[in-house]
Structure 1
Amino acid sequence: MEKEDLIRKAGNYVFALFKEKLSKKLVYHNYKHTFEVVKEARQLSEGYHLSEEELEILLLAAWFHDTGYVSTYEGHEDESVEVATTFLREEGYAEESITQVARCIMATKHGQLTHHILEDILVDADIANIGKETFFATAELLRVEWEIFMNRTFSDLEWAQFQLDFLLSVSFRTQTAQAKYSKQLSKNIQAQRNHLLDLTKKKKKKEKQDRETLAQPKRGIETMFKSTYDNHISLSAIADNKANMMISLNSIIMSIIITYLGTKSSIIGAEFTRNPILMIPVGILLATSLASVISAIISAQPEVTSFRLRPNKLTSRRINLLFFGNFTKIPLEDFQSGMHDIMRNKNALYNNMITDIYYLGDVLSKKYRLLRISYTIFMIGIILTVLSFVIAIAQ
Structure 2
Amino acid sequence: MNETIIREAEKFVTSLLKNETPEGYAYHTLNHTLEVVKNAVFIGTKENLSEDEMSTLRVAAWFHDVGYIKTYKGHEKESAAMAAKFLERQGVDENICDAVSECILATAFPQNPQSRLAKVLCDADFIHLGQNNYFELAEKLRQEQKMAGVHKLKKAEFDQESLKLFKEHSWHTAFCKDKLDEPKQKNLEILKELIAKQTTKTKMKAAKSKSYSRGVDSMFKLTARNQINLSHIADNKSNILISLNGIIISLALATLVSKFKQEPVIIVPTIIFILFSLSTIVLAILSTRPNISSGKFTREDIKQKKVNLIFFGNFYNMALEEYEWAVAEMINDDPYLYSTLTKDQYSLGKVLAKKYRLLRWAYNVFMVGLVISVGAFLFVFI
Common fold, TM-score beyond 0.5? yes
Quick check: 2:283–2:359 contact (8 Å CA) kept in 1? no
Segments of structure 2 that go 5 or more residues without pairing to the other structure are: 212-219, 253-259, 294-299, 316-321
CA pair 270-3 structure 1, distance change in 2 beyond 3 A: same
Q: Which residue of 1 aligns with 2:257?
A: none
Look up the match of 2:110: 111
Sequence identity of aligned pairs in percent? 27
What does residue 152 of structure 2 align with?
151
Equivalent of 1:186 in 161, 182, 188 = 182
Shifted more, 192-201 versus 354-363: the winner is 192-201
Deviations 1:88-113 (A, max 9, x none): 45545567755554443332222244
Asked if the contact 2:311–2:344 (Cα under 8 Å) also holds between the matched residues in 1, the reply is no
Q: In the alignment, is the contact (CA less than 8 A) between 1:235 and 1:364 conserved in 2?
A: no
Q: How does 1:299-378 map to 2 (within 5 A)?
A: 302=291, 314=304, 321-322=308-309, 339=326, 342-343=329-330, 345=332, 347-348=334-335, 350-363=337-350, 365-367=352-354, 369-370=356-357, 373-374=360-361, 376-378=363-365
Cα pair 1:289 1:378 within 8 Å, conserved: no
- 2: CA distance, partners of 1:299 / 1:72: 78
Q: Indicate the residue corresponding to 1:70 in structure 2.
A: 69
> Aligned in 2, Cα 1:289/1:59: closer, same or farther, shift over 3 Å?
farther
Q: Unaligned regions of 5+ residues in structure 1, if any?
A: 216-224, 258-264, 305-309, 329-334
CA distances 1:209-249 after superposition (whole Å, capped 9, x unpaired): x999xx9xxxxxxxxx9999899678657745755775798
- AA matched with 1:126: D
- What's the counterpart of residue 132 of structure 1? 131
Q: How far has the Cα of 1:250 moved from its partner?
A: 7.4
Q: Secondary structure at the match of 1:13?
A: helix
**Compared with structure 1, are the counterparts of its residues 13 and 375 closer, same or farther at alpha carbon in structure 2 (3 Å cutoff)?**
farther
- Kindly indicate whether residue 368 of structure 2 is the aligned counterpart of residue 381 of structure 1: yes
Taking the aligned partners of 2:309 and 2:379, their CA distance within structure 1 comes to 59
In 2, the alpha carbon distance for the partners of 1:110 and 1:268 equals 113
142-151 or 7-16, larger mean C-alpha shift: 142-151
Count of aligned pairs between the two proteins: 346
Aligned counterparts of 2:63 and 2:15: Cα–Cα separation in 1: 12
Match of 1:60 in 2: 59
In the TM superposition, 1:159-308 aligns within 5 A as 163=162, 165-179=164-178, 181=179, 184-190=180-186, 192-193=188-189, 196-197=192-193, 200=196, 236=231, 239=234, 242-243=237-238, 246=241, 270=265, 297=286, 302=291
Contact preservation (8 Å) 1:68, 1:79: yes
Matched residues in 2 for 1:372 and 1:95: separation?
101
Q: Which amino acid aligns with 1:151?
A: K
Greater CA drift, 29-38 or 116-125: 116-125
* TM-score normalised over the length of structure 1: 0.61
Supply the AA of the counterpart residue of 1:40.
N
Secondary structure class of the residue paired with 1:105: helix
Equivalent residue for 2:33?
34
What is aligned with 1:80?
79
3-state SS, counterpart of residue 155 of structure 2:
coil
* In structure 2, distance between residues paired with 1:117 and 1:250: 107
